A and B are shown apart, each in its own frame.
Chain A
């Protein structure tokens, strides 16, 4: 165990002294983030996250109002009631509003009965404003209602299965009530920002996470190359004939890579925040959890890459292909809100998508700690699978 620590310390020393590595770990990503952020700032302009959302509420029950209120509670949305016609015109384009939401008549009834229901969101096709991000917020709020719905459905199913004589509808009602109560404690309130007006939309909020995750992967690729180089150059062989366990050798190297990844992504976010005023959301614990989960998954990707390739050259050519593919699909280059649904699904095969769901959820949508448990959990599972396969397949003694 002590030897594991020495191996970690040695690897950290090697990285610390490697100027080329720091170029890839920090300097290059910062340059890219700055260039892209400034270049794209007119695109995201309209230019603030503050926007007016048209809402047409046909709901006979109370839940439509509840949904509207929860949206209104967000600091950067003003709700404006609208008629059907107004919403329709937006659908045809040429309206100054980015989005419109239509709540159907039976919304409350169906939710309480545990049936599925549909909200209609119209998006101005010509809008160059921050529509995708507003849509993300609505999705967030609506998702919470879906959760309520699911709770109700599950409760009904349970009651039926256990063959109790309970009134299914009553159970569903109870569950819904409980879930609603739960929901009202959710971070909608927590997201309250100083009422000093809407925050300007900062392109660094949008660009930093994506590129940070991509360059995190490039960082672990360098680590994977280093591991293969150690095998080629015989330094790994030297350890294998010394009284050191294999677990210490591989563990020591992985811990070092994990620490480097944590330092890298934390520094990138720190520069984004302190130098370029990137928002870091309202849950520092949530953000920290996301960064740890992301660094862990990236490290696991590194060992998998080293295991699947034979030489340093191969690791870098296959690594670059895999990283660029995952970054494009997974939303590192553009938000996944703007791609077709099936591409969004496909994108979630990459670790980038899950990492960005959580990180952007916190930074852009103002999500709370409990919201990011899903992406963080998926990342840990994703990372664990890569880790186990990589560990099983990596040959310390070479091919």
Chain B
């Protein structure tokens, strides 16, 4: 086990940006932190990168405390910030050389790594162009590259694909897989669920400073029911309480949740569960206004857990 976050809290004034976040990341994993704007992803990643000191809690990276051994942690991590943290008037190569030197690289080693990284992000041809002349996607790729020069064992990526076209995004994904295949462990934040579904071995969903669900993609989708979800809207006065247990006992049903006049039924097989569930409602005198069946997804899970959309 390489990275461990334990009840991390970060408060600004009275408000907690991160409110008791715990998770662990195993060696070689791509760990996804998924959440809407303001969920606390950047704050969490900032604590792990030693940029911010937590108000409470502790995190360790390869056994090193981010609080007490920040200096040592900095040597083994690579950090790619959410914003384009590059010098716009310097060339791609000048930027990379500078950051490489900050990690103690020099001489032929530095030259070689700059070339490798530029080839990895496929911008070697453009190395002598100023950053300000690059497209948004190219800037993102150099931004990523600047965090890779010293071949970090733990790489923290804060929304590295914001504002890039699908092609550049695919490019960045390829790069991330390559880095993982070379043995690095990666923490990846995003508010795009498709991204984490595609990239990550393990996912933690954050909202309002808390981890509200975590596990592998399969485990998370299972929470919704492998066969999908039946969403029923019941006409007023709504579904009487106590009916959930009866619905839950029907064939294939794995979970029931009631919210105002809506009932969400998770099932291992929606098609088979639907008729008995309808029957239960009818015999209780409930009038079903509308009905929706959908396949499980992180998006639906997020709505299920928080009652709101992932993307505003």
Seen from chain A, the residues whose Cβ lies within 8 Å of a Cβ on chain B are 3, 6, 10, 13-14, 17-18, 233-235, 237-244, 397
Contacts and interface: CB of A to CB of B under 8 A. Distances in A.
Interface string B62-90: 00000000010011010101111111011
B49 interface: yes
Contacts of B77: 241
Nearest to A232: B83
A82 B85 CA distance: 74
Nearest to B83: A234
Contacts of A239: 102
Interface stretch (B16-24, B93-101, B115-123, B288-296): B93-101
Nearest to B77: A241
A13 B94 contact: yes
B78 to A, nearest CB: 9
A233 B94 contact: no
B51 A397 contact: yes
7 contacts: A10-B87, A14-B87, A14-B90, A237-B51, A243-B71, A244-B102, A397-B52
Nearest to B79: A241
A54 to B, nearest CB: 61
B74 A14 contact: no
B148 to A, nearest CB: 13
B51 A233 contact: no
A252 to B, nearest CB: 10
B74 A243 contact: yes
**Chain A, interface SS category:** helix
B89 A18 contact: yes
Considering residues A13, A235, A240, A242, which has the most beta carbons from chain B within 10 angstroms of its beta carbon? A242
7 closest A-B pairs by beta carbon, nearest first, are A234-B85, A234-B83, A242-B102, A243-B74, A234-B81, A6-B101, A241-B49
B5 interface: no
Contact of A243 (B51, B84, B104): B104
B220 interface: no
A3 B74 CA distance: 15
Interface residues of B, number: 26
Contacts of B94: 10, 13
Contact of A238 (B52, B75, B81, B90): B81
Contacts of B87: 10, 14, 235
B74 A242 contact: yes
Interface in B125-165: 146
B81 A17 contact: no
Contacts of B103: 242-243
B50 interface: yes
Contacts of B51: 237, 240-241, 397
Contacts of A235: 85-87
A238 B99 contact: yes
B65 to A, nearest CB: 15
Given A234-B83, A243-B104, 4 more contacts: A14-B89, A234-B85, A238-B81, A241-B51
B259 to A, nearest CB: 40
A6 B106 CA distance: 11
B50 A241 contact: yes
Contacts of B102: 3, 6, 239, 242-244
A17 B79 contact: no
A241 B74 contact: yes
A242 B99 contact: yes
Contacts of B82: 234
Contacts of A233: 83-85
A239 B75 CA distance: 12
A6 B98 contact: yes
A17 B74 CA distance: 31
Contacts of A238: 79, 81, 85, 99, 146
Contacts of A10: 87, 90, 94, 98
Nearest to A240: B51
Contacts of A237: 51, 81, 85
A233 B82 CA distance: 10
Contacts of A17: 89-90
B62 to A, nearest CB: 15
Contacts of A18: 89
A244 B71 CA distance: 8
Nearest to A10: B98
A3 B77 CA distance: 18
Contacts of B99: 238, 242
B15 to A, nearest CB: 16
A233 B89 CA distance: 13
A159 to B, nearest CB: 61
A264 to B, nearest CB: 19
B149 to A, nearest CB: 10
Interface string B37-77: 00000000000011110000000000000000001001101
B53 to A, nearest CB: 10
Contacts of A13: 90, 94
A239 B101 CA distance: 11
Contacts of B104: 243
Nearest to B158: A234
A10 B89 CA distance: 11
A10 B74 CA distance: 21
Nearest to B103: A242
A3 to B, nearest CB: 6
A299 B83 CA distance: 29
Nearest to A6: B101
A239 B86 CA distance: 11
A10 to B, nearest CB: 5
A243 B77 CA distance: 10
Interface centre among B82, B87, B102 (most CB of A within 10 A): B102
